[in-house]
Chains A and B, each alone.
Chain A
Amino acid sequence: MSATIQIHELSGLTTGTDKTSGTVRFKNADNATVDTANPLVVPAAGTDFSYTKTLRAYMEAAPVSSISNLQWYSDGTNGFGTDINVNAKNAGLNWIANYQTEATSMTTLFNYTSGTPLDGDLVDAGPFTPTDDDTYIGDLIILQMTVGTSATNGVKPAETLTMSFDEV
């Protein structure tokens, strides 16, 4: 029987919403609701920062032996258009409530590709075993969208972020 691994959008170190089959929406509000309320706006000057989004893997059903090698990566192409970007970093297990100011030590998400992924179990290192069933596994991954003055208005296309893991 294979494990069931989920991706959760967190509101606390070990509190979150299952988004495995849902959507993660960047917005100017600290919630996981997928709606058109609190949209990012094109600023007259400077940059509009979304609230940070914190993602983490969750072991919903245990593997036979172990889960390891968590990695996060994009397709390498920013499809949001001019002056819109998403930045990312591994925050280890250092939980900070989601915030709207500029996140530090971030790298553009689109630099993390299948060949150069973001390590997802650097601090909370695997392998994760059946004893970790029904718990969060791996590190906190923080994302933040930025909108600059040259961006265009409107609903933007969805982008891809992939999390991979090895299972035995």
Chain B
Amino acid sequence: MTENYTWEAERPDGNIITEGDDIKDCVRFSLIPNNILLQRFDLIGIKMNRRFCRGFLNGLGGGYKDYIHCLVCDEFRVWISYKNGKVWVLPPDFELRV
């Protein structure tokens, strides 16, 4: 499931970053699907601060339940599922767990 998407963020000078959590000043954030059944996401025009992924494993067996990318912005967080492309836009202090 973790391979369903790759991410990249673009800095104002056009440089592309694909590692780390600091995406301040980036003008674009993209999730690029590696699975033809999933859609691509391009986020532009919002002020982003940092990013991380949250993995969810079935604790009594069963493997990955979901793997979700989170973009932390000033006023909200955007969560995008690697499992099915579902999107949640939630308050910045809300900890999404599925």
Contacts and interface: CB of A to CB of B under 8 A. Distances in A.
Interface of A: 2-3, 5-7, 19-24, 55, 64-65, 69, 71-73, 114-115, 117, 141, 158-168
A73 B54 CA distance: 14
Contacts of B52: 166-168
Which of under 10, 10 to 19, 20 to 34, or 35 or more describes the interface residues of B? Answer: 20 to 34
Given A2-B2, A65-B21, A7 B97 contact: no
Nearest to A167: B53
A162 B65 contact: yes
- Residue among B20, B52, B58, B97 having the largest count of chain A Cβ atoms under 10 Å: B58
Interface of B: 2-3, 19-21, 51-63, 65, 67, 97-98
Interface of B, secondary structure class, is loop
A7 B65 CA distance: 13
Contact of A114 (B2, B3, B63, B97): B97
Nearest to B2: A2
A86 B98 CA distance: 21
Max chain B C-beta neighbours (<10 A), residue from A65, A163, A164, A166: A164
Nearest to B70: A166
Contacts of A22: 61
11 contacts: A2-B2, A7-B61, A23-B61, A23-B62, A65-B19, A141-B59, A162-B56, A162-B57, A164-B97, A168-B20, A168-B51
Given A114-B97, A162-B97, A166-B52, A5 B57 contact: yes
Given A21-B61, A158-B60, A167 B97 contact: no
